[in-house]
Structure 1
Amino acid sequence: MPQTMVTPYLFFAGRCEEALEFYREAVGAKVGMVMRFSDSPEPPPPGVLQPGFESKVMHCSFSIGETCLMASDGCDDQTKFTGFSLSLSVPTEAEADRAFAVLSEGGTVQMPLSQTFWSPRYGMLTDRYGVSWMVMVPGEC
């Protein structure tokens, strides 16, 4: 019997392919399947897709570590990421430093990496695509 699970689905407002490449380099993302709107067996209903989005990513899947995520360009260039953060746990402070530095390039740091009472290394940022991240080394349980 299949398990119930929640998978983040991110909409990149026409920049999905660019974001996937960025996450490959930044956090070692592995891209699975990619389907473009032009490859769909059924075209979107008239007026749903912004002109020029025909060759954009309709659906894709990728993984970061053991976590599967899904993404799309969406149907237009109006996507906003609000109300959530992706939490990236890495095993060492050096890995946290590297991931935080790369993810924050072109983005905004909300909280620089530092020691907290729950983690030897924790920081928050919004990347160049508007996705909010919390980068951390897990503390002891």
Structure 2
Amino acid sequence: MKINPYLMFNGNCEAAFKFYEKCLGSKIVMLMTHKDAPSAENVPAGWHDKIMHVCLHLGDCLLMGSDSPSGYFETPQDFYVQISVDEPIEAEHVFHALAENGKVKMPIEQTFWAIRFGMLVDQFGTPWMVNCEQAA
């Protein structure tokens, strides 16, 4: 069993996932707009280029998302997407890349449980934790 986060956006899903692809050094493996779907004729013209579904490959997990239909988007709250990395330098790089034009909630630093840990909300409103645990 796996858990893969599914993020919803207010019309800027494609920009967010291209940003995540760059920040996380990963690859978008699937991207479908509403105009690509069999039901495209039922979608308002302004939504044809909005994302129906996108998948970003991250190791053995996927980060997925889409644009919420008009009137359905709610600002994310009370959760974080947590990323575990093996090396402190990688944690620093990922944290600072995701923090670009976002808001740092807790600067990345050493804690009693991790060599590096930090929290932020990115420029698209997605909350992230970056964690690099200490060696056992």
Confirm or deny a common fold (TM above 0.5).
yes
SS of residue in 2 equivalent to 1:87 = strand
Counterpart of 1:53 in structure 2: which amino acid?
W
Q: Name the TM-score, length of structure 2 as normaliser.
A: 0.88
C-alpha deviations, 1:7-60, integer Å up to 9, x for none? Answer: 211112111111111011111121111111111112485xxx676222111111
Aligned counterpart in structure 2 of residue 52 of structure 1, from 36, 43, 46? 46
Q: Aligned pair in 2 of structure 1 residues 131, 137: CA closer, same or farther (>3 Å)?
A: same
1:33 aligns with 2:30: yes
Equivalent position of 1:67 in the other structure: 61
Equivalent position of 2:135 in the other structure: 140
CA contact (8 A) 2:81 2:128 kept: yes
Alignment of 1:1-141 (within 5 A): 4-43=1-40, 52-76=46-70, 78-141=73-136
Residues in 2 aligned to 1:50 and 1:110: alpha-carbon distance in whole angstroms: 38
CA contact (8 A) 2:106 2:120 kept: yes
The structure that is helix-richer by fraction is: 2
SS of residue in 2 equivalent to 1:52 = helix
Q: What is the RMSD of the two structures over their aligned residues, measured on CA atoms?
A: 1.9
Runs of at least 5 residues in structure 1 that lack an aligned partner in the other structure:
none
Runs of at least 5 residues in structure 2 that lack an aligned partner in the other structure:
none
Counterpart of 2:121 in structure 1: which amino acid?
T
Deviation for aligned residue 1:129: 0.7
Q: After the TM superposition, which segments of 4 or more aligned residues of structure 1 sit over 6 Å from their partners? A: none
CA contact (8 A) 1:105 1:128 kept: yes
CA contact (8 A) 2:28 2:57 kept: yes
Q: Aligned pair in 2 of structure 1 residues 58, 94: CA closer, same or farther (>3 Å)?
A: same
